[in-house]
Structure 1
Amino acid sequence: MTKPLIIGVSGASGLIYAVRTLKYLLAADYTIELVASRASYMVWQAEEDIRMPAEPAQQELFWREKAGVSTGGKLNCHRWSDVGDNIASGSFRTLGMVIIPCSMSTVAKIASGLSSDLLERAADVQLKEGKPLVVVPRETPFSLIHLRNLTALAEVGVKVVPAIPAWYHHPQTIEDLVDFVVARTLDTLDIDCIPLERWQGN
């Protein structure tokens, strides 16, 4: 049985990145442990005028509907406040964790070793256990403080994949641009489940 992958969704703009990530991972039959931060609820309200449910069972249905994947894979949603949940323990085996999108506040807290909610605690556990941790920062421009915090994470092995798309694959839609970032993010975990026209050279 494949170990689960933790997906963290922070309060950064760009929830479409999380939605598309779930779409491809669930369609590829992965097991996902998802934790959305408290701030992400406000982002859903601001970007889509949608209220994300707090109850884990209802939230699973919510994410599946947004991703367009009613069956396939396994999705377990966790309350942001439940710091005693299974993904908060180093004994819970995982493939690693991806935080997509990742706010600068979340970057700063992880870089400082702070764990004020389940998302941050799960990320801290990945670091202490030597498990893969990938952050997808969605901010511009970066301040010097942002860059120093990202550098601190990179120095301890965190993969930093900024939400910066490419154009050599001839994107036609916003989803094409998003999918490029999602594919490159999952590449860091050696997960290849997204159709992507990869660079073949001149």
Structure 2
Amino acid sequence: MVGITGASGVGIGARLLDVLSSGGHTTHLVLSDAARHILELECTISEEELKARASACWDNDQLWAPIASGSYRIDAMVVAPCSMKSLSSIANGYADTLIARAADVCLKEGRTLVLVPRETPLSLVHLENMVRAARAGARILPACPAYYHHPTTVQQCIDFIVGRVLDVLGLEHQLYKRWHPPSEMLE
């Protein structure tokens, strides 16, 4: 399941959905209302084009969707980007949206939940919510690209973050060059 919430960086969730779908994975997509607006501002694809890449799409208020139940099996959930509002809901068990409820289900069922927070600077409240979510079982993967592979485009930075998400999910990819120290560092 891919949840895309209302933080800058919706291209991360869109790229993740692309990679998962093209890899033959069944995907469920949920966009928050704020994510819909940010998609228009930041991306060149429409909401309809994004939804066409998913196996199933749900509105964030459809709390009766199958992914809201622990009896419905999913392998993992990724919230990318994860707004601070969504982080707070997830960290504190306030499941008033489908994204928050599906995340709550992942935590209670011991399933993989990856949160990709996208905010800077971080307040103490944000940090405490990340710790609370991590203690509950979520993996916190901030949208912080590496630079050792010398990215020259925003897309390369997005691919690095999506690649790290795929690493956490245990999925193979070729989205970025992995770290290998120069030979002179090994001497």
Is the TM-score greater than 0.5?
yes
Establish whether residue 20 from structure 1 lines up as the match of residue 15 from structure 2.
yes
**Displaced runs of 4 or more, over 4 A:** 48-51
In structure 2, how many angstroms separate the alpha carbons of the residues matched to 1:116 and 1:37?
12
Gaps of 5+ in 2: 183-187
Q: Displacement of 1:129 after TM fit?
A: 0.5
SS in structure 1 of the partner of residue 128 of structure 2? helix
Number of corresponding residues: 182
In structure 1, how many angstroms separate the alpha carbons of the residues matched to 2:175 and 2:92?
37
Between stretches 99-108 and 153-162, larger displacement belongs to 153-162
SS in structure 1 of the partner of residue 89 of structure 2? helix
Q: Displacement of 1:149 after TM fit?
A: 0.4
**CA-based RMSD:** 1.8
Establish whether residue 133 from structure 1 lines up as the match of residue 113 from structure 2.
yes
Q: Displacement of 1:171 after TM fit?
A: 1.4
Establish whether residue 44 from structure 1 lines up as the match of residue 24 from structure 2.
no
What is the match of residue 98 of structure 1? 78
Amino acid at match of 1:181: I
Q: Does the CA contact (< 8 Å) of 1:25 and 1:193 recur in 2?
A: no
Amino acid at match of 1:13: S
Q: Does the CA contact (< 8 Å) of 1:110 and 1:123 recur in 2?
A: yes
Scaled by the length of structure 2, the TM-score of the pair is 0.91
Rate the CA distance shift 1:50–1:111 in 2: closer, same or farther, 3 A: same
Q: Which of residues 60, 78, 100 in structure 1 aligns to 2:58? A: 78
Gaps of 5+ in 1: 1-5, 53-58
What is the match of residue 132 of structure 2? 152
SS in structure 1 of the partner of residue 63 of structure 2? coil
